[in-house]
């Protein structure tokens, strides 16, 4: 035992204990529909069938997974896109009867030999964006779904009353059951259902149950997340990981699903039935050793989780503070990782799926809740992760305990911490300018740093408060921008420039002002501003490794494709580059971590029995990435105007921001825009800001041109039929739809590059067959 650790058998969380009469609660269930299935064999990572549940009709059935489906869509997020394409219409919106909530696995999901192999991928039409949102999440549900016999779960329709869906891999039944007496908030509901569906009253039995739920906040906002449980056998509590982005929990509750339960009979290290177990063990062991030996000198994630990023972001002026006005702050050291390390329970391993040596899923046990309906209870808080701590700095909350309170209530209410924190930060800035005030904010003094007001806002969302502000503000930044502009409150441009959303989704927690590539990493994405497609700030801003538009476009092609690949296979991205081999810096392309890329080639081949190379991995992603973009176009929202970003993410909106980085901006006016230094010194700030505003917006337009060009899209951001065919995606309905859209754009004059080019600069070619020549 390592010094300071507590023997497992002696460990008590100290949490408030609940006594549930689960027999009585379960006795109130009515079975609405039941389906019996035969146990199937997992072959080389695939269960080879998916599960379809329709809540309106009570239909439950299996669908086959064909070889063609594997070839074109690989698995995971790819399967989700295929199932959505077959089931929804271009008019489908998030609350339409035919919208689906899909949870998928991926051929490598459920592996225990390679770190980070237990991720589920969730997809739906998002209430925030009304296009497809995909979100990945840890916890046991995805692997259990597969080991029960299904590569994906597809839920359509709406129930008439609150139900749970139970996938029982032990009895081989699927049931839709009413669930009138269970709690809704996730920390309680997940505990109730874990105990209720465990076959025996033992920790081992409880460990074979995983629950997906969303709390009351998900019902009354567009920020609903999905909480995926995993029973922690050491702490003896069901813990939770979140599929946070895009309102998946809101769709869950709109369908009146209280929870989804998956239960397995048994599983072990070969349940995925890999083609080549020896290679799998070899490649997995190599990574385990690297993580064990190197993590402490690199990111230290095994000790402090992703929170180590806070001090780095603060140092590099990238930590979002007061609604992204600033990137560092004198008080930021109060929320550096050592403060959270002191609060974390240090009880050995913290992986969110078996075999994850990285173990970044930290917790605080026996946290005493300070506000709201659970005031005084002692609970386990999962996290906080970097993004949640970043929400704290964005709202001006510099006390780790308030960040934990925010984290706990977001999770149990089923609210995405990122959207909630970013939106509140925007409301706080509007409050500071007097555009919002106590009267307009339902009596809440929503100013920077007021933690009680922020929590009060969340409690009122969860309680279904009908006040106009609570109703609008719980739908997110985009709706509040429209509301303020309609009311005539505040300067329209200021509101548009400071509300941090793109496509309707709130920004995640990085300041992008000084990295053009990262502005594209947030804006030129499929679902909205989330760094799971590309995180290029260090490559671009710190290392200056991608100085030209062509370099940036190449990075904004490669990295989104590479990162998409994790979602096709059911993997976590963190073990790819949050630990690096010691000689990585000496390789040709250190940002790609070539040795780890080869690991993934070996890993996929070892499980599936295929013989792919690293180029084929990118092609797997490119097929699905372009398919998702094309589906967004089909849904009416996947074009250039939707990839625009607020000016706060490009440059300084207010004089205060300009002054905070005056030297940098003044230098840029001289060095990049060619102004004379003496003229810049004499110029007033508002004039300098105006020049910078035009320059930076044009830089973003030029970046967009270059990226679309590299990706094989038209200047309006539409994948061409030729590109789709080149990738082997030959669905005639899809190809016709794309050609029709391109023809319409041609007539509307939208097939032209939009950057302003001068001094010999050239826009990308207008030849739409450019991918042959790139
Ligand atoms: S690295 Fe962290 S988030 Fe990823 S699988 Fe491991 S514990 Fe989960």
**506 Cα to the center of ligand 1, angstroms:** 24
Q: What is the number of the ligand 1 atom nearest to the C-alpha of 351?
A: 7
Mutation test residue for ligand 1: of 298, 572, 578, 596, the one with most atoms within 8 Å of CB? 572
**350 Cα to the center of ligand 1, angstroms:** 8
Mutation test residue for ligand 1: of 230, 292, 353, 358, the one with most atoms within 8 Å of CB? 358
Listed residue (40, 98, 43, 48) closest to 75, CA to CA: 48
The per-residue pLDDT for 771 is: 32
With a 6 Å cutoff on the Cβ, whether 359 touches ligand 1 is: yes
The per-residue pLDDT for 8 is: 62
The per-residue DSSP string of 672-740 comes to TT---HHHHHHS-HHHHHHHHHHHHHHHHHHHHHHHHHHHTB-TTS-B-HHHHHHTT---HHHHHHHHH
Q: What is the number of the ligand 1 atom nearest to the C-alpha of 356?
A: 6
Cβ-Cβ contacts under 8 Å for 454 (sequence gap 6 or more): 395, 397, 406, 424, 446
With a 6 Å cutoff on the Cβ, whether 570 touches ligand 1 is: no
**100 Cα to the center of ligand 1, angstroms:** 27
With a 6 Å cutoff on the Cβ, whether 717 touches ligand 1 is: no
Mutation test residue for ligand 1: of 110, 111, 114, 138, the one with most atoms within 8 Å of CB? 138
Q: What is the number of the ligand 1 atom nearest to the C-alpha of 359?
A: 7
The per-residue pLDDT for 705 is: 93
Mutation test residue for ligand 1: of 121, 356, 563, the one with most atoms within 8 Å of CB? 356
Q: What is the number of the ligand 1 atom nearest to the C-alpha of 138?
A: 8
Nearest CA owner, ligand 1 atom 2? 360
The per-residue pLDDT for 542 is: 85
With a 6 Å cutoff on the Cβ, whether 116 touches ligand 1 is: yes
With a 6 Å cutoff on the Cβ, whether 351 touches ligand 1 is: yes
With a 6 Å cutoff on the Cβ, whether 410 touches ligand 1 is: no
Listed residue (642, 726, 712, 655) closest to 684, CA to CA: 655
With a 6 Å cutoff on the Cβ, whether 500 touches ligand 1 is: no
**108 Cα to the center of ligand 1, angstroms:** 15
Cα gap 367→352, rounded to integer Å? 20
**360 Cα to the center of ligand 1, angstroms:** 6
φ, ψ dihedrals at 54, nearest 5°: -110, 115
- Residue for token digits 């000496």? 586
**359 Cα to the center of ligand 1, angstroms:** 6
With a 6 Å cutoff on the Cβ, whether 356 touches ligand 1 is: yes
With a 6 Å cutoff on the Cβ, whether 729 touches ligand 1 is: no
**353 Cα to the center of ligand 1, angstroms:** 7
With a 6 Å cutoff on the Cβ, whether 287 touches ligand 1 is: no
**Helices 386-395 & 400-413 angle (0-180, nearest 10):** 110
With a 6 Å cutoff on the Cβ, whether 355 touches ligand 1 is: no
Over the chain (774 residues), what is each successive 10-residue block's mean pLDDT?
Answer: 57 90 95 95 97 98 98 98 98 98 98 97 98 97 98 98 98 98 97 96 96 98 98 93 97 98 94 97 97 95 95 96 97 97 86 94 96 98 96 98 98 98 98 98 98 98 98 98 98 98 98 96 96 90 89 95 98 96 95 97 98 98 98 96 98 97 96 95 97 96 94 95 96 97 96 85 59 34
Number of C-beta neighbours around residue 266 at 10 A: 9
Cβ-Cβ contacts under 8 Å for 651 (sequence gap 6 or more): 513, 665, 689, 692, 693, 696
Cα gap 156→153, rounded to integer Å? 10
Cα gap 468→348, rounded to integer Å? 47
φ, ψ dihedrals at 591, nearest 5°: -65, -25
**637 Cα to the center of ligand 1, angstroms:** 33
């Amino acid at each position: 035992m390592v010094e300071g650790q507590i023997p497992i058998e002696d460990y008590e969380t100290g949490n408030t204990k609940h006594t549930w009469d689960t027999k009585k609660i379960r006795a109130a269930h009515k079975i609405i529909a039941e389906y019996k299935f035969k146990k199937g064999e997992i072959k080389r990572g695939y269960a080879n069938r998916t599960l379809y549940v329709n809540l309106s009709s009570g239909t439950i059935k299996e669908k086959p997974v064909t070889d063609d489906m594997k070839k074109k869509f690989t698995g995971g997020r790819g399967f989700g896109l295929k199932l959505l394409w077959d089931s929804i219409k271009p008019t489908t919106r998030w609350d339409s009867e035919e919208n689906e909530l899909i949870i998928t696995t991926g051929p490598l999901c459920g592996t225990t030999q390679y770190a980070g192999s237990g991720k589920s991928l969730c997809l739906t039409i998002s209430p925030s964006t009304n296009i497809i949102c995909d979100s990945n999440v840890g916890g046991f549900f995805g692997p259990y779904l597969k080991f029960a016999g299904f590569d994906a779960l597809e839920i359509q329709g709406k129930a008439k009353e609150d139900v749970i869906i139970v996938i029982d891999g032990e009895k081989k039944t699927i049931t839709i059951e009413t669930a009138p007496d269970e709690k809704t908030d996730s920390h309680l509901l997940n505990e109730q259902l874990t105990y209720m569906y465990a076959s025996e009253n033992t920790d081992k039995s409880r460990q074979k149950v995983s629950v997906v739920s969303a709390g009351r906040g998900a019902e009354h906002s567009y920020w609903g997340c999905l909480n995926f449980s995993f029973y922690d056998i050491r702490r003896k509590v069901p813990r939770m990981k979140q599929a946070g982005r895009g309102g998946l929990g809101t769709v869950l509750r709109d369908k009146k699903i209280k929870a989804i339960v998956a239960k397995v009979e048994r599983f072990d290290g070969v349940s995925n039935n890999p083609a080549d177990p020896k290679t799998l063990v070899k490649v997995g062991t190599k990574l385990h050793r690297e993580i064990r030996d190197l993590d402490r000198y690199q990111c230290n994630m095994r000790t402090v989780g992703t929170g180590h990023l806070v001090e780095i972001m603060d140092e590099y002026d990238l930590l979002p503070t007061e609604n992204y006005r600033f990137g560092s702050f004198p008080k930021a050291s109060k929320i550096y990782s050592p403060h959270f390390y002191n609060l974390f329970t240090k009880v050995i391993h913290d992986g969110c799926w078996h075999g994850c040596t990285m173990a970044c899923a930290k917790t605080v046990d026996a946290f005493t809740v300070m506000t709201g309906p659970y005031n005084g209870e002692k609970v386990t808080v999962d996290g906080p992760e970097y993004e949640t701590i970043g929400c704290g700095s964005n709202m001006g909350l510099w006390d780790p305990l308030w960040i934990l309170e925010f984290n706990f209530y977001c999770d149990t209410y089923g609210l995405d911490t990122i959207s909630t924190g970013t939106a509140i930060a925007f409301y706080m800035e509007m409050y500071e300018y007097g555009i919002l005030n106590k009267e307009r904010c339902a009596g809440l003094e929503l100013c920077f740093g007021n933690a009680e007001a922020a929590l009060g806002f969340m409690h009122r969302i969860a309680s279904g408060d009908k006040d106009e502000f609570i109703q609008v503000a719980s739908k997110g930044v985009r709706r509040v921008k429209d509301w303020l502009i309609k009311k005539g409150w505040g300067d329209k441009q200021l509101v548009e420039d400071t509300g941090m959303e793109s496509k309707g989704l709130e920004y995640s927690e990085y300041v992008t002002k000084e990295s053009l590539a990262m502005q594209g990493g947030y804006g030129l994405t499929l679902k909205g501003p989330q760094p799971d497609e590309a995180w290029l700030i260090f490559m671009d801003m710190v290392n200056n490794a991608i100085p030209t538009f062509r370099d940036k476009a190449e990075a904004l092609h490669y990295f989104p494709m590479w990162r998409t690949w994790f979602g096709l296979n059911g993997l976590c991205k963190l073990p790819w580059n949050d630990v690096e081999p010691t000689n990585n810096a000496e390789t040709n392309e250190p940002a790609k971590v070539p040795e780890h890329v080869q690991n993934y080639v070996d890993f996929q081949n070892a499980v599936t029995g295929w013989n792919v190379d690293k180029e084929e991995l990118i092609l797997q992603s490119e097929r699905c990435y372009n398919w998702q973009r094309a589906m967004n176009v089909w849904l009416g929202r996947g074009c250039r105007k939707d990839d625009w970003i607020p000016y706060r993410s490009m440059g300084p909106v207010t004089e205060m921001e300009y002054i905070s980085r005056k030297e940098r901006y003044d230098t840029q006016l001289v060095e990049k825009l060619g102004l004379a230094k003496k003229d810049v010194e004499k110029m007033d700030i508002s004039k300098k800001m105006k020049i910078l505003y035009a320059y930076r917006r044009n830089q973003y337009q030029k970046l967009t041109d270059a990226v679309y060009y590299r990706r094989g899209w038209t200047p309006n951001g539409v994948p061409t039929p030729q590109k789709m065919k080149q990738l082997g995606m030959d669905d005639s309905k899809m190809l016709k739809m794309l050609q029709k859209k391109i023809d319409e754009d041609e007539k509307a004059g939208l097939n032209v590059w939009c950057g302003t080019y001068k001094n010999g600069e050239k826009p990308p070619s207008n030849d739409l067959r450019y991918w042959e020549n790139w």
